[in-house]
Amino acid sequence: MQSGNAQSGFSYLLLLVGLSLMAILMLKSQDLIATNFRQQQEAQLLFAGNQIRAAINSYRGSDSLKQEASSVKKDNCFPISFEQLVFDNRSFKPRYHLRRIYLDPFTQKINWVQVFDSEGRWIGVHSSVKGNPLKKVGFKEENKTFKKANSYQEWVFKVDEDPSAPLPAQCKK
């Protein structure tokens, strides 16, 4: 003799199918969330890198020191450190080329890799992360080389090299 309702097994099966669908949807949403988070990190990297590049250019263009006693002209000096970009005290009135030292959005640390020219002038930065970029199109003109990048380390935010600029040792105060 059969006890219970004949439809009770059907309800259990329907519950299992529903839970399975929910699990699949949750896994898919995890991928979307991870992709969205990485896109946000890329946007932050582009912002911070462009700010640092602009600060280096601003630092070079704002040198108003007149060195009569020295034979070395300090105009167009490249900065030596991030601290010089945050607080530039080369003239009577301090300048602030960079609001703060930005964190690398992927590592959440100030561990930018500094890029130097052949003479040791600091001309840019890039991230230390080796991951493959998601973004491949839609870059501004100054970042057009990023389209071909296979790693975030190839996203180099640098200013134009200037062989006529004073060497770092000649620019120290």
Burial (0-12, 13-18, 19+ Cβ within 10 Å), 45? buried
The distance in angstroms from the start CA to the end CA of the chain is 99
Residue keyed to tokens 């070395």: 72
* Number of helices followed by number of strands (H, E) in the chain: 3, 3
Q: CB–CB of 155/67 below 8 Å?
A: no
Q: Please check whether residue 21 lies inside any domain of the structure.
A: no
Around Cβ 68, how many Cβ atoms within 10 Å?
A: 5
Q: What is the 3-state secondary structure (H, E, C) of 111-166?
A: CCEEEECCCCCEEEEECCCCCCCCCCCCCCHHHHHHHHCCCHHHCCEECCCCCCCC
Q: What's the confidence (pLDDT) of residue 5?
A: 59
Q: What is the pLDDT of residues 42-53, one digit of tens each?
A: 999 999 999 999
pLDDT band at 6 (very low <50, low <70, confident <90, very high): low
Q: Please check whether residue 50 lies inside any domain of the structure.
A: yes
Q: Please check whether residue 79 lies inside any domain of the structure.
A: yes
- 141-164 mean pLDDT: 94
Q: What's the confidence (pLDDT) of residue 75?
A: 66
Q: What's the confidence (pLDDT) of residue 68?
A: 37
Q: Please check whether residue 77 lies inside any domain of the structure.
A: yes
Q: What's the confidence (pLDDT) of residue 79?
A: 93
> Domain containing 155: what range?
41-171
Q: What is the pLDDT of residues 68-85, one digit of tens each?
A: 334 444 568 899 999 999
Q: What is the pLDDT of residues 98-136, one digit of tens each?
A: 999 999 999 999 999 999 999 999 999 999 999 999 999
Q: Please check whether residue 88 lies inside any domain of the structure.
A: yes
Strand partners, 6: none
Closest-CA residue to 120 (of 163, 155, 89, 159): 163
pTM: 0.79
Q: Please check whether residue 3 lies inside any domain of the structure.
A: no
Q: What's the confidence (pLDDT) of residue 2?
A: 60
List Cα–Cα distances, 19 to 8, 42, 82, 142, in angstroms: 17, 35, 53, 50
Q: Please check whether residue 141 lies inside any domain of the structure.
A: yes
Q: Please check whether residue 33 lies inside any domain of the structure.
A: no
Strand partners, 114: 125
If one counts the domains in the chain, the total is 1
Q: CB–CB of 115/123 below 8 Å?
A: yes
